[in-house]
Every structure is written in structure tokens, then in C-alpha cells.
Structure 1
């Protein structure tokens, strides 16, 4: 007797991009040992080839790669390069964890600033890596997850956020590409309009995928979101010195 498994019940699909064979093997064994479906490649070119053959739920990018660096690849993905598979989360919104031997704050901030969802410094423990992977995936959205079936739209100052599709549209009707972490942050603001939200509370509300929780982390994420909102940013999200942030526009749910 054959049992058809719902795709939502299958383990998450992870693609590792790491040029060091030993580290690549370690990462793959660690993740497979926790039940994930894992593929691994050694360069950016191989990553694009792998993504063209099958979708993934999470990318783990080493920063120092031959040819295009992990920073370059992350920036390209967030910029909308690469094609998405039918009925899958857009590649530009795929969660990304960056891995690097450089763990200084400025390196972590730079990785987060270009759109990574988390940044892990080498050396790291296997349990730490798994915890970060699970935390990122908890905020990911697949076509089969409950969030995809919601038909809820939020409008503010001419903008529209479609929670079901995780799509942001500007007042002219043009789509604005946002990462998963940026979407979660914006949704948290929209759930709490005209209220001052402290940085730590904002992190808690959005359940953001930034593993290195700090005021600096949330400031980077807010800065990223403001850039996506363009000229409207200052009239939508205001900084309350010493306290946090406030979303000032009126919000309408459809």
C-alpha cells in the first residue's frame, strides 16, 4: 500500500555553498543528521546550476568563495536574479544564512545589511548551527504552510502588503521586492500602528530571523526596510530617540 505524503510534511530543503571540502562535508552531515534534505556545492556557478534544477527552503552561503563571493551571491539573490520555481516562494525571498571565519561586528552588520537573515561566525558548534537553521526556517513560508492560504491584504499610505503572497506593492502599483525578514518586520509594524515599539519588543514581535539579537541588528533591518519604502520611509517609520520606532500611517485591512 502506497501512502502519499503531503509536501508540507517533508523536511526542509537546504543548499550549502562552501568551497572547503571538509567544512562542506561537516555541514552536510550535521544537517542531514537532523533530518534535513541537503545538497552542497562549491561555488557560485554551481549554486545557480543547483537552484535551476530544484528549489530550496534555505541557503547557507560561505562568504569567501572562488569567483563570486557569498556577499555577491546574496546581493544578487536579493536583487531578484535567478528564476523561481512554479508555486514556490520567490528565490529573492529565500532565507539565507551566511557563514564566515570573520566574526567581527562590522562583518556581521554588512552581511545583514545586504539581505542575509542570519550570520554565523566560524568556528561554531553543531547545536548552535542547527538552532539557527531551525529559527530561520520557522519564519520561512512554503506554498503549503497556513500563511499561504490566508487571503489578507493590508493597505497603508497607498501601499499594499499581501500577507498571503508576501508581496509589497507601492502606490504606483509596482511590486517592491522584500526579504522574508523585512516582510516580518513590516507586518509587525502594521499590527501595531501609531504605537512606540522598543527595539527588543520589536524583535520579539517580528520573531526576526536575525540570530545575533541586538539593537544594532534591528537598526540594520529597519534601515533595509526604509530603503525599500523609498521616499515614503520617513513619513511611515519614525525613530523615537531612546525608545525605539513608531509606524505612523493609518492601516486598513482588507
Structure 2
């Protein structure tokens, strides 16, 4: 998800950007209201009220007039009037400083789920992995020699059935939603396990290892070091229907 952070204090913005990036977000930072209004399209706006050039309330009002992008106000102001005014002008949530990155991430995901498909219009038309997933594919999906039947929850490799546990199938199906795309660890945990999953991440590594073993080649699931995983056919597998070249698995 692309997040626009409108915050003038670098002591606040720096840790927020670093923390959000660890959860897989791409953050653009604007230090003034004018810069925020001139910034590129985003899928979520984090808006400080105490900006040097204009009040955050006015920024919120302007953003809402031209877009339905979700807005979370972040401010040291605890005045109820500010919170009520911001929400009435179209802000989706209000978070008082200080706060933790995990709480902010949970708020972002909750707001995006409530906002629904219209949240990205017209700010962005890109889907957000792990938030709004497409429904089951009507026909089996083929990726090289791998065939995934979501309706029947069956997998065949080289026309041979592959027995998968329920979570293993869900993990494979999620990665196969966009073959070659890198999904962060948190995105996978949120989508395959539960939203805002904060449990031990070792369970993901265990399921990835099991999938690699059952698919007969670890190169099927590529580990992008410090980021996440992607599904990609091994180099000796048949090309996908899109004719894209595959890459070998392993750590990057």
C-alpha cells in the first residue's frame, strides 16, 4: 500500500516511515500541507494537524473534496473539538500522539477494510495484497506444470496430485494470485492466517518449507531476503501461459 505521510516533524516522520516500511508499506513524506496536496496519488493519507503552512483540518477538507482516499489524522492535539471536526470533514480515524507503529498499522488496515473498494478511487486503482482479495477463480489456474483448482482445493504438478494441508493450500493459492509478485511476510500472514496477525512468524517459514518439499523443488517459492516470498516456476519448468521467464528460488 502506498501511504502519504503529511508531517512536519522529522523526529516523528523518520521512525514512522521506518516502522511502516517494515510492515510492507511504501511511504511518501510531505512536510507541509501544500506539499501534501501536491503529492502523487496514495491509497492512504496520514495527516498531522499541526502543519507549518496551513491547518491539517483545511488539508483534510481539500483532500476530501477531490478524493475518497482514506485519511487518518495523527496529532498531539487531544481537544475533542478537533477530533469531531476532523471526522465530520471526512477523516476516517483519529490517532493521538504518542502511539506505536503496530497500533497505527492496525488502524490503517481497519480503515482500509471499512472503506471498501471505493477507497482507492480516484486516488489509485491498484489492488492491495492481503486486504481485498479476489474471489475464487472459476477455472483451474496453470503456472507451468503446476495446476491449482481453487474450487476443488486440489493441486496437480506434472499431472500428479499434490496433497496439501489446508493452510499450505491457502498459502500456495495466495502466492499464485499474482505469480512473480513479491508478498511481504506480514501481507501473507494477514491474508492466509488472519488480519493484523502478530503471532510468531516461524509458522510461515514452516509452511513454506513444507510447500517447497511437496512441490519437489525449493525454487518454486523464492525467498526475497528481508522482504517476503513469491511464487515462480523453477528454471527447468515449462514457461507460464504469459511466456514470462522464470527465476530460480533461494534467498535474495
TM category (shorter chain) comes to 0.3 to 0.5
* Rg larger in structure: 2
TM-score, structure 1 as length reference: 0.45
